[in-house]
Amino acid sequence: MIENLLFPDINETPEDIISKYPRRNPLTVVTRIAPSPTGFLHIWAVYSAMLDKIIAYKNNWVFFLRIEDTDQKREVEWAAHKYVDILKQFWLIFDEGPVGEDYKDVWNYWPYTQSQRENIYKVFIKDLVKKWLAYPCFLTEQEITQTREIQEASKLPTGIYKEYSPWRFATDDEIIKALDEKKEFVIRLKSKWEISRKIDLLDIIKWRITSWENFLDIVICKSTGIPTYHFAHLIDDYLMWTTHVIRWDEWFASLPLHLELFNMMSWQAPKYAHYWPLVKLDWNGKRKLSKRKDPEADVEYYFKAWYLIESILDFLSNIINSGFEDWRKQNLNTSYLDYDFKFEKINTAWALVDMDKLNWVNSVIIKNMETDKLYEKFIRYLENYDVDLLSKLSYYPEEYNKRILGELKTKIRKFDEFNENSFFFYTDSNIPTHEMLLNEKMKITDLDTVNKALNIAIDILKSRTSDFESINDVKDIFVEKIIEADMKNGQVLWPVRCALSGELFSPWALELIYILWIEKSINRIEKVLKYI
């Protein structure tokens, strides 16, 4: 009777709902990522999605996306769509979810957005009320505060439970009277578990841990009629036949509650894995990455900071299993999914987001990537994050730009270091000072030696009828002419490098000649010869 007063528009039964969701192959591993669209996408969401995909990939798998937007006060418009787009950039392609054209649902277990499933949840909540496993609670905030104060004074666990929940024992007449008076209410679980009992929790990462049972009559439906996360995700994971739930350690404390809910519904719970949060170093040691304090918590920060997708994936893979780094050295062009990840080897301490380490990973991937492929990625980054540099490069032949990137890829850590290391390729070079041209280590102690070296270079370049095809072509002819002039390599190549770049630090002379081509190299060297 009471359930009909609370949910007069709900006519379906749990059996009706369950029949709409076909059973999956029992051998299929089904994982999901379920972000809440309350702001930017946290880097841990990518980390979590990788874990979900890894465990699914190793089995006969389904990997799906669900949007958990029950916290509508904090929801940010279009955030869910943005999440889909970002995760696709990481090649985290979902088998199911709101991932189709115009973000439409794909596959049979729709809708995959919780705000569109409100009536489904209410069917199950109504059934729990009917079975006296849940009840309407009309406690006001003031009454809840008073209860907490009494419990604290008596040194008892705080919360609404057993004798501290008067509406748990209310009669139908008392509930009907409160409804007639239009009192605001929530629906609470009527917990069967006890405050003093412990249970064993099995976790794929943590293994077996003993914890207290849940004894709280937690809210499963808010006064707005919207179910809470605790209840909604349980219904969704059952109906979508999720086999493994992988989430960060913050949710581990809620595991007894979630297991009790599954037990109360007479459903088999999925397997759980709780990974430690991503942390950073600060003055006081390690702390969790904060959405409010840390820019590196935002996935888009890594894009704007010019990190490659491949680098972020490898960086996170090494956090998942430390042995990944050694494997990667032997498998440079292989997907991270081909590494034999072991969940028992996942770090059981806080996972450090070390930006110096990420810089190193990014530099290694840039260095080892084929130049044409790297150039395509570089241009895409410029289109998004540096249109001024893109405009400057557009005035030069693509082959010229590629040669520069091919040279610098062994020296830069990120794309945003390209400009500061390449400016002398795109502007007139400075005239080097006499002090720069002289170098005792290279046995260049006077300007006559400099003059001779630069003229050797001019003679070589003017004898060419076409540009060099490779750096080795440049090297072969220079080495030959330097030997003929009875000089040391450094005596010629040091002043040539300074003349071509006008900088104390730059790529070496042979690389500069290969990139600048003959005409520009001759012009720069002749300009320096006039000066000295």
pLDDT in tens, 50-67: 999 998 887 778 999 999
pLDDT for position 516: 94
Whether residues 390 and 359 fall in one domain: no
Using alpha carbons, select from 402, 379, 405, 400 the residue that is nearest to residue 391.
379
Q: Which residue is it, tokens 């059996």?
A: 15
Q: Which residue is it, tokens 């009840």?
A: 135
Where on the phi/psi map is residue 83: left (φ > 0), alpha (ψ -120 to 50), or beta? Answer: alpha
What DSSP character marks residue 224?
T
Q: Is residue 87 in a domain?
A: no
Dihedral of alpha carbons 368, 371, 376, 379, sign: positive
Q: What's the CA gap between 451 and 402, in Å, rounded?
A: 32
Q: Is residue 413 in a domain?
A: yes
Whether residues 335 and 417 fall in one domain: no
Whether residues 389 and 473 fall in one domain: no
Using alpha carbons, select from 105, 121, 115 the residue that is nearest to residue 74.
115
Using alpha carbons, select from 505, 509, 502 the residue that is nearest to residue 479.
509
Q: Is residue 16 in a domain?
A: no
Domain that holds residue 347: 281-368
Whether residues 440 and 524 fall in one domain: yes
DSSP assignments along 40-62, one per residue: SPBHHHHHHHHHHHHHHHTSSEE
- Tens digits of pLDDT across the chain (532 residues): 899 999 999 999 999 999 999 999 988 999 999 999 988 899 989 999 999 999 888 777 899 999 999 877 777 888 899 999 999 999 988 999 999 999 999 999 999 999 999 999 999 999 999 999 999 999 999 999 999 999 999 999 999 999 999 999 999 999 999 999 999 999 999 999 988 899 999 898 888 889 999 999 999 999 999 999 999 999 999 999 999 999 988 899 999 999 999 999 999 999 999 988 888 888 777 888 888 888 999 999 999 999 999 999 999 999 999 899 999 999 988 999 999 998 888 876 777 889 999 999 999 999 999 999 999 999 999 999 999 999 999 999 999 999 999 999 999 999 999 999 999 999 888 899 999 999 999 999 999 999 999 999 999 999 988 888 889 999 999 999 999 999 999 999 999 999 999 998 899 999 999 999 999 999 999 999 998 7
Q: Is residue 470 in a domain?
A: yes
Residue 74 vs residues 69, 298, 346, 403: alpha-carbon distances, Å: 9, 17, 32, 49
Q: Is residue 183 in a domain?
A: no
Whether residues 467 and 525 fall in one domain: yes
Using alpha carbons, select from 274, 278, 269 the residue that is nearest to residue 204.
274
pLDDT in tens, 182-203: 999 999 999 999 888 999 998 9
Nearest-5° Cα angle at 75, 97 to 224: 100
Contact 302, 296 (CB under 8 A): yes
Query: Maximum distance among all alpha carbons in the chain?
Result: 111
pLDDT for position 359: 96
- The amino acid at residue 351 is A
Question: Helix H segments across 224-332?
Answer: 229-239, 255-265, 299-304, 309-320, 324-330
Whether residues 527 and 442 fall in one domain: yes
Contact 280, 289 (CB under 8 A): yes
pLDDT for position 322: 87
Contact 245, 273 (CB under 8 A): yes
Q: CB-based contacts of 331: which residues, under 8 Å, 6+ apart? A: 338, 339
Strand partners, 180: none
Whether residues 382 and 406 fall in one domain: yes
pLDDT in tens, 41-53: 999 899 999 999 9
Q: Which residue is it, tokens 């084929």?
A: 370
Helix (H) or strand (E) run with residue 247 in it: strand 244-248
Q: Is residue 25 in a domain?
A: no
Query: Which CATH number fits the domain that encloses residue 465?
Result: 1.10.10.350
Contact 394, 386 (CB under 8 A): no
Tokens of 383: 């289109």
Whether residues 346 and 401 fall in one domain: no
Tokens of 263: 């037990």
Strand order in the sheet with 351-352: 285-288, 278-282, 351-352
Q: Is 476 helix (H, G, I), strand (E, B) or coil?
A: helix
Whether residues 333 and 375 fall in one domain: no
Boundary-marking domain end, from 368, 385, 414: 368
Dihedral of alpha carbons 158, 161, 167, 170, sign: negative
Residue 337 vs residues 56, 97, 313, 365, 417: alpha-carbon distances, Å: 10, 21, 10, 17, 30
Q: CB-based contacts of 119: which residues, under 8 Å, 6+ apart? A: 10, 12
Q: Is residue 195 in a domain?
A: no
Whether residues 390 and 363 fall in one domain: no
Q: Is residue 506 in a domain?
A: yes
Q: What's the CA gap between 237 and 240, in Å, rounded?
A: 5
Tokens of 165: 């929940």
462 phi and psi, to 5 degrees? -75, -20
- How many domains does the chain divide into? 3
Whether residues 525 and 493 fall in one domain: yes
pLDDT for position 170: 95
Whether residues 376 and 406 fall in one domain: yes
Boundary-marking domain end, from 379, 396, 426: 426
Query: Which CATH number fits the domain that encloses residue 320?
Result: 1.10.1160.10
Using alpha carbons, select from 295, 421, 268 the residue that is nearest to residue 355.
295
